[in-house]
Structure 1
């Protein structure tokens, strides 16, 4: 049944959402069916529509790890994994028929459509307060850029949609080039940077000008445009962002709005909570955390073994757990679980915010920029800022000899990013953009046997064409024949 029509391109906005994106606006209940004839008339209408742009990301975010972590080497699935298609993704059997790619595509274009609807109707209201119209414009453009940044990194060139289209128009729209999508992203982010207010003037959970600067710098790093990346990353500290002293404090409910969080998606337990904390928790649950877990994935030994003694990121990311199987005299099973989002919560409704951009990312991106600009001494300083925070001192800092060549520098950057951003959906992107996908994902050490002190190695079938995921087959089928071309070798 071809009902999965390109949902980001309908002229009618269905199910805007009953969820707000920040904790100061949690009781909003917009209409469930909104059209251009009965909506977008007042500033309040536009405000609610902007919140709808965020809510699409809020809905998608808790399951992003299935596509962005599971096929890499930080996580592997369990027998309890319920998501259709996760098994194939984990085992590198990637095909265009996998529903996970269709789900991600449709959720992202749903958010893009909502942003386009805001921008198409932004001139309608006449009751804006001072600078309110600019704010809403900036938010819509930032979020559209964020959705497209995710899409272009996963699929390459995708249809470029910047206005409201009828379904028939959408079915005839081909893919733009990767370069054209990046041009749109940069243009939107530059506009957002100009239009958005500072974070002090924004409700928590809504983007500000500093968020736009940080994402713009990150986009330029992906393009290896070091000069422009430095220009925008240099701005970020001036917006009030800095590293927290204690890595573990980043994952506490009481410290969600700390100065390291540049942008996070907001959640409240029982109101608009997410299921990620439950998904990572062991099946029996955990005292003072939750009464049950889904045990959907386990952290790999491949990742676990990289944390050195004294690295505080380990305990904040992975909890050691050992399970005695039946019969009782069988060897103990190593049974760790992800604890980065482990907070007390009702099953399936965690209130811990999910970060999209942290200042630690800016620091490590700046290390890449400085190295790219032939300043390895300055790159080392940035790299060691993260290293010193992890260990609480400089005893484990790298030396210039550790990054003497571009190859060894990339080794260290990938290592620190892997340890720092484990389970934050950066690993797949990092491997693709550094050209390390095939070499790093030749095999994965998944489980570990403490009795024999041996890892259970799993050979991965990584292929060169996996640097781009397949265009979802169900999307190709609802387009006019030949319009939506598949990526190579799928």
Structure 2
């Protein structure tokens, strides 16, 4: 290995002094902002790290731990008690020092910092068109908007940081109000919507599009109960469905298999693959596979899984509430869960002879067809938003505006895909309360395991009621305090400008 040494000789001649800039040397062994943010490739690499923050195994909103806890806090799933922090969150015993929730907080701000870098340094990049630069900045704003959306729904009032720190004081940011956090979400997504492309070529699948920005704008306004704005945003996608290329997959289960990833129903999809290094259990990025270990986390012990997250009978009962026009199970039930029904095959085994008779296991987004029990790398993508969500969110907004007749065909599209009886004419005559009951049920069955249930129940004001009625483990611990995560203890200790939220 050859080592290069730099020798600087400074000669003073007479009264001549050297300039200050002459002494400002870059460290040749370190990549600095001056040396790095100079090309389009640099911006693209910066964006890649920002996307990675969304799927980080332990810190990202669509990473393994967050996926478990989003569902484990509801009546539909339970979490095994061998990982204390996760179990505490799922049974409403977590505290301000629980590491899992602190990691989510850290993960959001890691992603925000990476986006701020791209936005900040974009202007110094040379050899790139203004249009392309605007598109890449819009992509960074889309991701930043998502991170603030996550902070708003998980923590509430948090600091809003939109620039890079220039001094020590810049690290100690006061909290914005929750309203101000939502304002930032909407501002970023509006900017993204204005400059992102409608479609992406095949080699850019998974990157943000105009439709994704509109979809999350609609979701943000839904959470804020701004029904007219939800109708404006999501109505754009539904009215111009062919332009954006969206639609429902004919077969619900096809959304969760490799052959049909990034399909017409995908509004935003988090990408996984078997590319990268050979390991899934490493902190070394060079050895890290771009796959996920969620499959092993949720698989039963009989096939070598760790059953960290498992469905409850409450979810199965909801799935079996209505049968198809032929009298079969709702296809969303058999695509989401495996249980002891005639002909059930799970991990290439007959369920009735290989698993406990009363067991219920997760099938959705699991590689349950895998014959190699020792290979737990899963490359199944996570669904950030599906078009069925757009339809049901828009139906909800119409319903809350008293326009049940406009909601009925949207809900029926979701029902029809599940081969349920056509109730469109009947639903059009329902009250808003009746339609909301239907929408609540359809959202539960449609999106189980996709991380929306907890937030849906909270915004409907039904979280405490549903958890109490379910009597899942820890239900008696629940109070409104647990509707949000606390500001982490580590943040309170390190940032003298911040205070705790709510009843925490």
TM over 0.5: yes
CA distance in 2, matches of 1:301, 1:397: 30
- Which residue is equivalent to 2:78? 76
Q: CA deviation at 1:276?
A: 1.2
CA distance in 1, matches of 2:313, 2:95: 27
The answer on 1:464 being equivalent to 2:492 is no
- Which residue is equivalent to 1:217? 218
* Pairing of 1:220-369 with structure 2 (within 5 A): 220-236=221-237, 237=241, 238-269=243-274, 271=276, 272-285=290-303, 292-308=304-320, 309=323, 310-320=329-339, 333-343=357-367, 344=370, 347-369=375-397
**Aligned residues of 1:116 and 1:162 also touching (Cα < 8 A):** yes
Q: CA deviation at 1:460?
A: 3.3
For residue 122 of structure 1, give the secondary structure of its aligned residue in structure 2.
Answer: helix
CA distance in 2, matches of 1:459, 1:251: 31
**Aligned residues of 2:91 and 2:474 also touching (Cα < 8 A):** no
Distance 1:401-1:306 versus aligned 2 partners, 3 A rule:
farther
- Which residue is equivalent to 1:423? 449
For residue 269 of structure 2, give the secondary structure of its aligned residue in structure 1.
Answer: strand
Deviations 1:155-186 (A, max 9, x none): 11110000011573344211101111111111
Rg bigger for which structure?
A: 2
Q: Normalized against structure 1, the TM-score is what?
A: 0.83
Distance 1:177-1:302 versus aligned 2 partners, 3 A rule:
same
- Which residue is equivalent to 2:52? 55
Question: Which has the larger helix fraction?
Answer: 2
CA distance in 1, matches of 2:137, 2:113: 14
**Aligned residues of 2:297 and 2:305 also touching (Cα < 8 A):** yes
Q: CA deviation at 1:134?
A: 1.5
For residue 150 of structure 2, give the secondary structure of its aligned residue in structure 1.
Answer: helix
Q: CA deviation at 1:402?
A: 8.8
* Pairing of 1:332-481 with structure 2 (within 5 A): 333-343=357-367, 344=370, 347-390=375-418, 392-395=419-422, 399-400=426-427, 403-406=430-433, 408-444=434-470, 459-480=475-496
When the two structures are aligned, how many residues end up with a matched partner? Answer: 430
CA distance in 2, matches of 1:395, 1:295: 38
* Pairing of 1:45-194 with structure 2 (within 5 A): 45-59=42-56, 60=60, 61=62, 62-79=64-81, 81-82=82-83, 84-129=84-129, 131-165=131-165, 168-194=168-194
Distance 1:400-1:153 versus aligned 2 partners, 3 A rule:
same
Deviations 1:28-75 (A, max 9, x none): xxxx97542331111111111011110111212232223311111111
- Which residue is equivalent to 2:13? none
Structure 1 alignment gaps of length 5 or more: 1-31, 286-291, 324-330, 447-456
Distance 1:166-1:460 versus aligned 2 partners, 3 A rule:
farther
Structure 2 alignment gaps of length 5 or more: 1-28, 277-289, 324-328, 347-354
Q: Normalized against structure 2, the TM-score is what?
A: 0.80
The answer on 1:205 being equivalent to 2:206 is yes
Q: CA deviation at 1:473?
A: 1.1
